[in-house]
Homo-oligomer: A and B are copies of this chain.
Amino acid sequence: MNAHNDILKKSGLSVTESRKKILELFFDSDGALAHADIEKNTDAAFDRVTVYRTLQTFVEKGIIHQIPTTDNSILYALCKHNCQQGHHHDNHVHFICNKCDKTFCLDDVTVPEVKLPQGFSPAQAAMVVTGLCEECKL
């Protein structure tokens, strides 16, 4: 039994060609992918709309999470820790290097809780730190 298929099943999703292929891409690349990367790497085998819907579904199910970037695009990456449906949250901090523009998932740094003013009801929190990465600091 294929491990990727299990992931889909565990999330209550049908195992389809597009989902298998896109999930495989994430495991192969072991990094963050943009929507465009996925289209490119699948040779347009799937409709653009399917890619949108697949990514959205994966995010909802906690299979992948979104990484904010400054260039008006969203990167997606596998949730490495146990993200669970419903309260999966991309709860680690992201770091964007000002020089090389790379985005890093700081998997071990969790977004701290903050107390919000009366009336605000939080669903998700994101924290992005910018600065210089290991490489560019030298």
User: Looking at chain A, what size class is its interface with the partner chain?
Assistant: 35 or more
Which residues of chain B are within 8 angstroms of A132 by Cβ–Cβ distance? 120-121, 123
Q: Does A47 contact B (CB under 8 A)?
A: no
Q: Is A117 located at the chain interface by the 8 A CB criterion? A: yes
Given A69-B68, A70-B90, A116-B109, check contact A127 B130 (CB 8 Å). Answer: no
Bound-state Cα–Cα, A68 to B108, Å: 20
In the bound complex, residues from chain B placing their C-beta under 8 Å from that of A66 are 70
**Other-chain contact of A120, B69, B111, B122, B133 (Cβ < 8 Å):** B133
Smallest CB separation, A131 vs chain B (Å): 4
- 16 residue pairs of the A-B complex, CB under 8 angstroms, read A66-B70, A68-B70, A70-B90, A70-B124, A72-B73, A93-B116, A95-B122, A106-B117, A119-B134, A121-B132, A121-B137, A122-B130, A123-B131, A123-B132, A127-B127, A127-B128
